[in-house]
């Protein structure tokens, strides 16, 4: 009987150590997400600036949109993430588990920037929303809009890389 209890304890300890190892590995993967360029976005030239080029990742599926830029600790100045929704709607975002301060550019169906929310606070769970209905949202590093003179009314176009 003592041998059975000892074997059971050993099996439980091994199972627990395996679980801790898997969870630790998953956390490490979450926190080491690297930028994967999937396309380009151009903010077309205006009286305020020349054409701006941003390398982008796309967030199109529900899981990609939920993940967004969470768990990333850096992003190059010319990189961003474009969220593509199936329809025009009110947009709500938050910065939970997002370590990079961001500017959010809300874009309508015609590719016009209709609202800006600049300098979103990292790790905040406060809602960030657009004052105007939109279909797309571009997230870039905080300060991008100010530095490049991006304003409401600017137009954007994007393309996917060939696979």
pLDDT score at 20? 47
Please state which architecture CATH assigns to domain 39-160: Sandwich (2.60)
Q: Domain coordinates of the chain in residue numbers? A: 1-30, 39-160
To the question of pTM greater than 0.85 for the whole model, the response is: no
Determine the pLDDT at residue 24: 44
pLDDT over threshold 90, residue 10: no
What is the per-residue pLDDT across 74-98, written as a single tens digit (0 to 9) for each? Answer: 999 999 999 999 999 999 999 999 9
Gap between the terminal Cα atoms of the chain: 61
When the pLDDT of each residue in the chain is averaged and rounded to a whole number, the result is: 88
| Phi, then psi, of 88 in degrees rounded to 5 | -70, 135
What does the pLDDT read at residue 33?
Answer: 84
pLDDT in tens, 121-162: 999 999 999 999 999 999 999 999 999 999 999 999 999 998
How far is Cα 38 from Cα 102, in angstroms, rounded to an integer? 20
The candidate with the shortest Cα–Cα distance to 107, out of 137, 87, 79, 149, is: 137
Q: Residue for token digits 């054409």? A: 51
Q: How far apart (Å, rounded) are the C-alpha atoms in residues 154 and 162?
A: 26
pLDDT in tens, 18-69: 544 444 444 444 566 889 999 999 999 999 999 999 999 999 999 999 999 9
Report the pLDDT value the prediction gives residue 5, as an integer from 0 to 100.
66
């Amino acid at each position: 009987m003592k041998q059975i209890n000892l074997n059971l304890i050993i099996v439980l300890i091994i199972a627990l150590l395996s679980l801790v190892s898997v969870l630790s590995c998953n956390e490490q993967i979450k926190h080491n997400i690297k930028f994967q360029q999937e396309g380009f976005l151009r903010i077309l030239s205006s009286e305020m600036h020349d054409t701006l080029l941003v390398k982008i990742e796309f967030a199109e599926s529900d899981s990609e949109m939920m993940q967004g830029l969470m768990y990333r600790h850096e992003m190059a100045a010319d990189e961003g993430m474009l969220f593509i929704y199936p329809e025009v709607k009110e947009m709500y975002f938050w910065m939970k588990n997002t370590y990079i301060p961001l500017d959010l550019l809300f874009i309508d169906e015609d590719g016009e920037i209709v609202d800006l929310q600049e300098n979103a606070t990292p790790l905040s769970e406060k809602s960030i929303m657009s004052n105007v209905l939109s279909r797309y949202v571009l997230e870039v590093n905080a300060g991008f809009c100010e530095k490049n003179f991006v304003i409401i009314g600017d137009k954007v176009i994007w393309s996917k890389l060939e696979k």
